[in-house]
Each structure stands twice: as structure tokens, then as C-alpha cells.
Amino acid sequence: MDQQYGQERFATTIESDEKVEPRDWMPDGYRSTLIRQMAQHAHSEVIGMQPEANWISRAPTLMRKMILIAKVQDEAGHGLYLYSATETLGVSRDELQEMLHSGQQKYSSIFNYPTLNWADMGAIGWLVDGAAIVNQIVLQRTSYGPYSRAMVKICKEESFHARQGYSILMVLAQGSEEQKAMAQDALDRWWWPSLMMFGPHDSESPHTEQSMAWKIKRITNDDLRQMYIDQTVPQAHYLGLTIPDPELSFDEETGHWSIGAIDWDEFWATIKGDGRLNRERIAHKVKAWEDGQWVREGAMAYADKHTPRLNKSA
Ligand code: FAQ
């Protein structure tokens, strides 16, 4: 395709809020930004299975166990849609795995915190999936077609995830004093890390301006975080829990909750690989990848054996 025609067409597509599709011309920076963000998103879904999978065998009832298995399985599915969508940009799944395992690509900071007890399953569903939904509902309008379409199904499933988390905490918050204390302790530990999921302040975010111009991002990090805070604080109050922030206050004029300072040193250390569980999470992921080698080899051998026959009959 003629380069100038491609550039003009890309500009018009973005301007008119249409979708960029895999075979369309796109700037190199647009492609590499999408690969970075979508791969990080896919890796987050897959690494994000670890903190919850840890609790499947310890869920308190058969019903809770079934629900948690379904949720963790959904996360695997989200990872698969997102890897497939990322592959449409010309990068293979093997390359993406390699970049995750070697630390060249990231996954969400939130999955470097430990899950200490059952209340943490409630906090992850309510707070972590809740934050993911706020971000992902907006990503349904992202300018890259395959990413935007993947978000539609993912958002529906995340909505179930958030509700199952809230329902776990509702039971605990209405239970014994010890159960209420568990719910409060989980909120205390997960509140600040969940706010960090939205990324650095806009003033410190190197990618936001360009990503907004390309309509990859539709709302900035700080604005999304504020939407999340406004939605989540009343939910905590409904549970009878206290947000662990002495500076939290409601501004009658703006109609928004304002919060104290986020610990950005903790955030940057975590995304640079020095969080509580970064090494364990990646070691576990690499081991699972190596243990699954025979399955991939078997699948490839099967495909090799059957492809010629399919081609012949075509
Ligand atoms: N963690 O300039 P920005 C889920 C990095 S899904 C780690 O603001 P950008 C479902 C960023 O990559 C959760 N790194 O960057 C689930 C960049 O690094 P680089 C995942 C972070 O991309 C629930 C640098 O900081 N969701 O939870 C983080 O414009 C339960 C500068 O930042 C997504 O990935 C972070 N929190 O905006 C699963 C959503 N924040 O490359 C299991 C899609 C920033 O310059 C259980 N992603 N960084 O070295 C996005 O919307 C964006 O990528 C942002 C960051 C908003 C995360």
C-alpha cells in the first residue's frame, strides 16, 4: 500500500472513531505501543491466575470452590483472547512468552502481592476485578479493532468476577467479629495496590499523551482512578468497612472523593521487579511453561501429521 495513502487513511480512521484493523497501514509507534500494552494485559490475566489458584483447594464451601475455579478459568480465557489479538500485530505467542519470562515485558503490579487468607479472594474480586472493569469498559472503545472486540466479552466476565468478590466480603462483613476483621484487613492490604493498577499520575506517565492522541487510551490514568475511587468508596461503606486512608474526604462541590498520597516508590519498585512476589510469580510461570513443553510438542506433531492430508483434500 502506498505510504502516503496509508498515513492519510490511518489519520481519517482515528479522527472519525472507526477501528484500525490488522491489515491496515499503521505507524510503527502505534503498533509497538499496542504490542506493549496488549501483551502486558494478556500477561496480567495469566499471571493473575496464580494468587487465586492458590485458594481453590482451600475455598470454604463446594459452591465457592466451583465459582473460584470458573473465575480462574475465565482469566486463562482472557489471556488467550488477548494473546490472539496481539498476534494480529505480527508478533508470535512464543515471542511474547519469551519477553515476559525474560522481564522485557511487564504484567500488572497488583499480582505481586500475596493472598494470605480467604478474605483476599473477596478483595481481589471486588477491588482488582473492579479496577480492571473500570479500565476495560473504556478500552471497548479503543481504536484497534481486535483489542476493542476482545474487551466486550472480557468485560461481561469481569462483571461476574467483581460481584463474586463483593459477595464473599458481604458474607464476612455480616459474620462474626473475627470475620469482619478479616474483611477489613483484606481491604487495608489491597486498597492502595488497587489504586496503583491505573498507572502513574498523568504528569508522570510517558505514554498517555500519545496513546490518547491515537485513541488507544480513551481516558487518562488519573481520571480512570478517580472514577474507580468514586464507585468503590460507597461500596466499602455499604459493607461497613473503613477505607485505610485518614485523608479520604468527600468534596461536596465536585462530587468526588479525594484521597491521600499514593506510595509511588512502592509502585515503581514493584514494576521494576522488586515487589513482594515478582521473582516467585515469574519462576512459577516459567516452570509451568517448561512443564507444558511436551503438550506443545505433541500438538505440533499432531498438526504436522494431519496438515498434509487436509491440504490434499482441499
Ligand atoms: N503495573 O505511561 P504509563 C486484570 C507501566 S487485568 C505494571 O501510564 P500506559 C484482570 C507501563 O507499562 C490488569 N506496570 O503506561 C484480572 C509503563 O511501562 P514502560 C491489567 C505498569 O501503558 C483480575 C510505565 O509504567 N490491565 O486485573 C502499571 O500508557 C483479577 C509508565 O506508565 C491492563 O493491562 C501497572 N499497574 O498506561 C486478572 C489494562 N501501570 O513500558 C486476574 C490495559 C503502568 O514504559 C485476577 N493497560 N505501568 O516500561 C492499560 O490500560 C495501560 O497499559 C495502563 C498503563 C493504564 C496500565
Q: Compute, in angstroms, the gap from residue 310 CA to the centroid of ligand 1.
A: 42
Number of helical (H) and strand (E) elements in the chain, helices listed first = 14, 2
Quick check: 261 pLDDT over 80? yes
255: Cβ below 6 Å to ligand 1? Answer: no
SS3 assignment, position 251: strand
C-alpha grid cell for residue 153?
466479552
207-236 confidence digits (pLDDT tens): 999 999 999 999 999 999 999 999 999 999
The protein residue with its alpha carbon nearest to ligand 1, atom 51, reads 135
Nearest partner of 78 among 188, 157, 160, 166, judged by Cα:
157
Q: Work out the pLDDT band at 313, boundaries 50, 70, 90.
A: low
Q: Rounding to the nearest 10 degrees, give the CA dihedral for residues 38, 40, 44, 47.
A: 130
Quick check: 289 pLDDT over 90? yes
Q: Work out the pLDDT band at 125, boundaries 50, 70, 90.
A: very high
Predicted pLDDT at 307: 79
- 256 DSSP assignment: E
Those residues whose C-beta lies under 8 Å from the C-beta of residue 125, and which sit 6 or more positions away, are 71, 161, 162, 163, 164, 165, 166, 168
Q: Compute, in angstroms, the gap from residue 243 CA to the centroid of ligand 1.
A: 24
87: Cβ below 6 Å to ligand 1? Answer: no
CA distance 193 to 195: 5
Q: Compute, in angstroms, the gap from residue 103 CA to the centroid of ligand 1.
A: 15
1-28 confidence digits (pLDDT tens): 578 899 999 999 999 999 999 999 999 9
Predicted pLDDT at 29: 98
162-208 confidence digits (pLDDT tens): 999 999 999 999 999 999 999 999 999 999 999 999 999 999 999 99
